[in-house]
Structure 1
Amino acid sequence: MVMKFSHFFFKIKIFKLGGKMRGSIKKFLFYVLFFLLFKESYAKDNFHFAIFGDRTGGADQKIFEEVINEIKQLSPDFVMNVGDLIEGYTGDTFKINKEWDTVLNFLKVLDCPVYFVPGNHDIWDKKSYNIYQKRTGKNPYYSFDFGKFHFLIIDNSTIEAWSQIDTNQLKWIKDDLIKNKDKKCVVFFHKPFWLKMISNGEKDIMHNIFKEANVNYVISGHVHYFMRTNFDGIKYYIIGSSGAKVEGNEALGEFYGYAWVKIEDTTLSITYIKLGNIIPENALTFEEREKLLKIEKECISVDSIVVIDDKKLKNYNVNVKIKNILDEDFIETLKWNISATPWKVYPEQIRWTFKKRETERIAFKFKNIFPDNLFPAPFFEFKYPHKGWGEYKLKIPLKIFRKIEIEKTKYPPRIDGILNDKCWIKASKLRKFYRSGGENTNVEQTDVYLTYDNENLYIGIRCNEKEIDKIKASVKKRDDPNIIGDDCILIFIAPDIRIRKMYQVIINPEGMIFDQWIKFDDSNIDRHREWNGEWKISTGKEKEAWILELAIPFKIFGVFVKSGSEWGFNIGRIQQRVSDNSTWQQNLTIDPKDFGRIFYK
């Protein structure tokens, strides 16, 4: 309308002017038209877009909305995300769609297209795959062009390595890259498998495909921190949290934010933006992050505490060791945050001088002022000086390991789902359960009894449930991962913590089982879901509880137990009616280094 109006205006003026003047005006109009056409072409090849990171797990909707509103103010031409928009991991279709409603309804505030990348919280099985397609309107892998750039979105939401990628998708990726080889290419996928290549020198088949196809940029999410690096001619980026839980160590890229991307012709530049802040281009490099993580791993150690259930020990000594790797002294405050914890510490904070290139040991005394409570645990807080961007704030929780000493029985129980056997009277009983994070839980009381003989570990469990008719047990086949959507008990066993190998079994009120064994090392998780343990299990019901009784043969772990043996162990419960979890050892994880202990007396 502007061009038509302008043309009409000038046409009127031309008729009123002489011939010479009309020629000058025509020349002027030619240049105006040329400028408008050039401007349109320039705008197409020069544009901006924003990338926001993971909203889940541990979503903070308020932070997510702040990120999206700040992006809106920048008026991008389009917006990308890197996956994990919903919490997911449920078989309840209504809940899944309700989560998508929350996200998609708020994204409507953006006045531009939004392109999606599937994360593991978005797609985890066939049902969630179909819902993702319907709600986003996109296939999980696709591509599009904008200006002189080609954008390729890959789906690695349900795999743990490129070797597991679907052959159809892999063929499509190769074909798409060949077809667009002459364009500048930006690749998006959720899980940054390439970190193992950069950190450990492992081969990455997709990197080789990218390099051959002249891919210029690769962008991922998943790990909730911002990072960038240049490897073998390809620029790799991680977009941190836009609402997902972060540890908050800014120097390691652990903050809420997003990325702003500027494209001029065939040049792309990415700026990381913390809410209200712009991060320098040379900050948050892979090298700086590795250096800082090495400080936390090698220069600072905090003793752990072992608390034995049923023994009323109250006082514990904890040593903190800090190594100064700088060529100069520094003075800093060491502080324990004991707010809302059942612990007292002396001294609670202390100012200390750290001599250059020396290690200091600082002793603290802890007292458990409420013996019936252990959690939440205190945090050790310390700022380690460095010359990079941001403060390097360390926040290290006091590790409290729970230990249960169990007696050997001469009278093994009959595994029938009824806790009336003689052995359960003298069996060791686990004390209070907590939510995984250490908070008080809404899950009703869970009574767990343990004993053993030469062949088996015996566990009897009473899961109190006031509304017994509302327990959920929908899974009907073995090794169905949707069992975590049922009421269930989760048991974790590590016969030898030193090798970080654990066995897991999950059991619902109908006695259905999901089991696997997992082995950890510094760079890999080796899962074996095809393994089936020979668990001896029976379930039953009381008026206000469901019962689980099991015998665990030592032979399935390839070990024999004798007096003095010690295993890694944890047990947790999910109660669907109250939508909460409880666990004996704080942190309901699958890593044996976080397990409590069983000591065979």
Structure 2
Amino acid sequence: MNFKSNALSCLLLLSIVQTACKKQEAIQAPFRHSITEGPVPWTSDQFEETEEDFTFGIISDLNGGEREGVYSKAVTQLNRLDPTFVLSVGDLIDGGTEDSLQLAKEWDSFDRRTAQLNMPFFHLGGNHDLTNPAMRVFWENRFGPRYYHFLYEDVLFLMLDSEDYTEARMMEIYQARDSAIRIIDGDLPGIYEETTYYHMPERRIGAMGTEQLEYFKAVLKEHPQVRWTFVLMHKPLWMREDSKGLGPLEDALAGRNYTVINGHFHSFSYRKRKGMDYSILGTTGGSQNPADSLAFDHISLVRMDSIPVVTHLRMDGILNEKGL
């Protein structure tokens, strides 16, 4: 090889190395500027190079008494916020019927709107979704199990069914509910607050059966060292103090970090219980009491870092580039 060829080869090699270095510099230093001396108009040039956290969204009740357009707006807002996935806490349809054609119509409507999400969505049933044995069968044929678990990035999610009654008890509740609704609608004489349904504990706090409890106890035993555990349900099972409440599962959760989230009351609240965070979400389209200042539409974002960072965003404050 003569001198000229050798020089050209060296220049070519130098160009390749410089190009590679520039590409590597761009990868290693995404922040670039043209200020070479003196003060700079930013507080730091140290950026988080890799993100080990992830964010998921949660929607709350759409029903008893869905208000048109709210949930579709929430779907659009979630797409703008771009969480990794979205969870629900139940009452996704109006339900309360044994008519399979009506159920199909309502679920088709919900799923058609939910399909507009750019990320996975996890169904969870509430009393409007699982009102009677026929609706249980419909759910299982369409969505599979009524309660389940999954893991994401070593975070465990327990998705509970708070309408977990024996079939006979479920029918008692369903029939008592039907009579109460007829009284409210004026089709039957009586006072709602004096009905059998009004005084049933299941109306407010639900129930969890032994089979479901044993399922989740086995899940916890199988995954003892996860980063965090989230427990989602529709009704606040933790308010029920007997064996059908959350107490036995709370005993199994003892010693680990966990967060409990539910809906049902259509009014936001938060408390510490057993040293952990327990939240009742507001609504994402469900009916509201105008006199309740904590009855508002919102979506929740949870950023799972070393601990969960929970942010509740009122929907009327999430605006697009047009301010809408």
Q: Which amino acid aligns with 1:171?
A: E
Specify which of 207, 213, 217 is matched with residue 174 of structure 1: 217
Question: Residues of 2 paired with 1:14 and 1:88: CA distance?
Answer: 76
Distance 1:187 1:14 in 2: 63
Shift of 1:261: 1.7
- What residue number does 2:58 align with? 51
Give the deviation of 1:107 after TM superposition.
0.8
Q: How does 1:106-185 map to 2 (within 5 A)?
A: 106-135=113-142, 137-159=143-165, 160=202, 165-183=208-226, 184-185=228-229
Amino acid across the alignment from 1:83: G
Cα distance change on mapping 1:194 and 1:249 into 2, 3 Å: farther
CA contact (8 A) 1:83 1:117 kept: yes
The question of 1:64 aligning with 2:64 is answered no
Partner of 2:236: 192
- Relative to 1, partners in 2 of residues 1:250 and 1:275: Cα closer, same or farther, differing over 3 Å? farther
Per the alignment, do residues 271 and 243 of structure 1 end up closer, same or farther by CA in structure 2, a change over 3 Å counting?
A: same
Higher-strand-fraction structure:
1
Q: Which amino acid aligns with 1:206?
A: L
Is the alpha carbon distance of 1:219 and 1:96 closer, same or farther for their aligned partners in structure 2, counting shifts above 3 Å? same
Alignment size in residue pairs: 252
Q: 1:32 to 1:14 in 2, by over 3 A?
A: farther
5 Å-filtered alignment, 1:265-280, equals 266-277=306-317
Residue number in structure 2 paired with 1:259: 300
Q: 1:260 to 1:111 in 2, by over 3 A?
A: same
**1:95 & 1:77 partners in 2: Cα distance?**
32
Give runs of aligned pairs for residues 298-337 of structure 1, distance below 5 A: none
Structure 2: runs of 5+ lacking an equivalent: 1-8, 31-46, 166-201, 319-324
Q: Quick one: structure 1 residues 163 and 46, their matched pair in 2 at CA, closer, same or farther if it must change by over 3 Å? A: closer
SS of residue in 2 equivalent to 1:151: strand
Tell which has more relative contact order, 1 or 2 (C-alpha 8 A, sep 6+).
Answer: 2
Task: Answer whether contact 2:71 2:284 (CA < 8 A) is retained.
Answer: yes
Question: For 2:141, what is the secondary structure of its paired residue?
Answer: helix
Please state how far the C-alpha of 1:15 moved relative to its aligned partner.
Answer: 8.3
Residue-by-residue CA offset, 1:330-363 (whole Å, 9 max, x unaligned): xxxxxxxxxxxxxxxxxxxxxxxxxxxxxxxxxx
1:245 equivalent to 2:241? Answer no
Q: TM-score, normalised by structure 1?
A: 0.38
Q: Which amino acid aligns with 2:163?
A: S
Give 1:276 deviation, angstroms: 2.4
| 1:505 alignment partner in structure 2 | none
Going from structure 1 to structure 2, the CA distance change for 1:32 and 1:267 (only over 3 Å counts) comes to farther
Instruction: Name the CA shift for 1:87/1:203 in 2 (closer, same or farther; >3 Å).
Output: closer
Shift of 1:173: 0.1
8 A Cα contact 1:248 1:255, kept in partner? no
- Return the match for 2:258 from 216, 223, 227: 216
Distance 1:18 1:166, change over 3 A: same
Question: What amino acid is aligned across from residue 265 of structure 2 in structure 1?
Answer: V
Q: CA deviation at 1:152?
A: 1.3
Question: Which one has a larger percent helix, Structure 1 or Structure 2?
Answer: 2
The letter for the 2-side match of 1:129 is R
Q: 1:35 to 1:131 in 2, by over 3 A?
A: farther
Partner amino acid for 2:97? T
**SS of structure 1 residue aligned to 2:117:** coil
Please report how far the alpha carbon of residue 267 of structure 1 lies from its aligned counterpart in structure 2 after TM superposition: 2.1
Report the 3-state secondary structure (helix = DSSP H, G, I; strand = E; otherwise coil) of the residue aligned with 1:187.
Answer: strand
Selected match of 2:89 from 70, 82, 85: 82
Q: Secondary structure at the match of 1:128?
A: helix
* Structure index of larger Rg: 1
1:513-592 pair list within 5 angstroms: none
Q: Tell me the residue number matched to 1:484.
A: none
Is the Cα–Cα contact under 8 Å of residues 52 and 257 in structure 1 kept in the other structure?
A: yes
Aligned-pair CA distance for 1:101:
0.9
Taking structure 1 as reference, are residues 83 and 165 closer, same or farther at Cα in structure 2, changes over 3 Å only?
A: same
Distance 2:68 2:254 in 1: 38
Give deviations 1:529-579, integer Å, cap 9, x for gaps. xxxxxxxxxxxxxxxxxxxxxxxxxxxxxxxxxxxxxxxxxxxxxxxxxxx
Alpha carbons 1:88, 1:122 under 8 Å: kept: yes
- Of 45-54 and 24-33, more deviation after overlay is shown by 24-33
TM superposition shift of 1:30: 6.3
Q: Is the 8 A contact 1:188 1:220 kept in 2?
A: yes
* Gap change, CA 1:249 and 1:34, over 3 Å in 2: same
* Offset from partner CA, 1:433-461 (integer Å, 9 cap, x none): xxxxxxxxxxxxxxxxxxxxxxxxxxxxx
Q: What whole-Å deviation, never above 9, does each CA across 1:265-310 have from its counterpart, x for those lacking one?
A: x3211112222238xxxxxxxxxxxxxxxxxxxxxxxxxxxxxxxx
